[in-house]
Amino acid sequence: MNDIEKNKKYNEYVEAKIPKTRAFPSLLNSFWVGGLICVIGQAINDLLLTAFPYMAEQTAWGYTLIILIFIASFLTGIGVYDRIGRFAGGGSIVPITGFSNSITSPAVDFKNEGIIYGVCVKMFSIAGPVIVIGVLSSIIVGLIYLFL
C-alpha cells in the first residue's frame, strides 16, 4: 500500500470518527437569535420613526444600522458578543452585527501592536474578504443589470 492510499484510508477513517455537530439545536439557536437581532433592528427603526415623525424612512434605516453596529461593537469590546456567537453561530454572524464584530474583534486584539500596524492593518483581516466579494459581486450584478 503506498503512502497516498494509506493517507486516503486514514483520512476516511478519521472522517467517520469525527463527532458530528447536531444540526437541529444549532439551526434552532441560529434561527431564534438571528431573528431576535432582526426584531431589535426593526424595533429601533420603528422607535426612530415614532420619535422623529419628520425623519425620512431611508434616513431611519441608516440610523438603525449605525445603532446596531454600535451595539455589536460595544458588546464585542466588553467580551459578550463572542459568547453570543458561540451559542448562535450563523444567527449572530449573518446580520450586520456579525460584520461589526468581525471588524471590532481584531481591532481590540491587535491594539498592542500599535495604531497603524496593529489596529488599522488587522481590522479588516476577517471582514476584508467579505468587502472584496461584496464589491465584486455588486459589479457583476450591475453589469448584468446594464445589459438586460
Catalog residues that contact another protein under the rule CB under 8 A.
Answer: 4, 6-8, 10-11, 13-14, 17-21, 26, 76-77, 79, 81-86, 88-89, 92-93, 98, 101-102, 104-106, 108-110, 112, 122, 125-126
Closest listed residue to residue 120, CA positions, set 107, 130, 102, 129: 107
CB of 63 to another protein, least distance (A): 23
CB of 80 to another protein, least distance (A): 9
CB of 121 to another protein, least distance (A): 13
DSSP single-letter state for residue 6: H
Nearer to another protein, 58 or 112 (CB): 112
Nearer to another protein, 15 or 57 (CB): 15
Half-sphere exposure of 86 (CA within 13 A, CB side): 6
The residue assigned the cell 453570543 is 84
CB of 136 to another protein, least distance (A): 21
Alpha helices in 52-113 (DSSP H): 57-77, 81-88, 90-93, 96-109
Nearer to another protein, 55 or 125 (CB): 125
User: In this structure, what are the phi and psi dihedrals at residue 22, rounded to the nearest 5 degrees?
Assistant: -75, 120
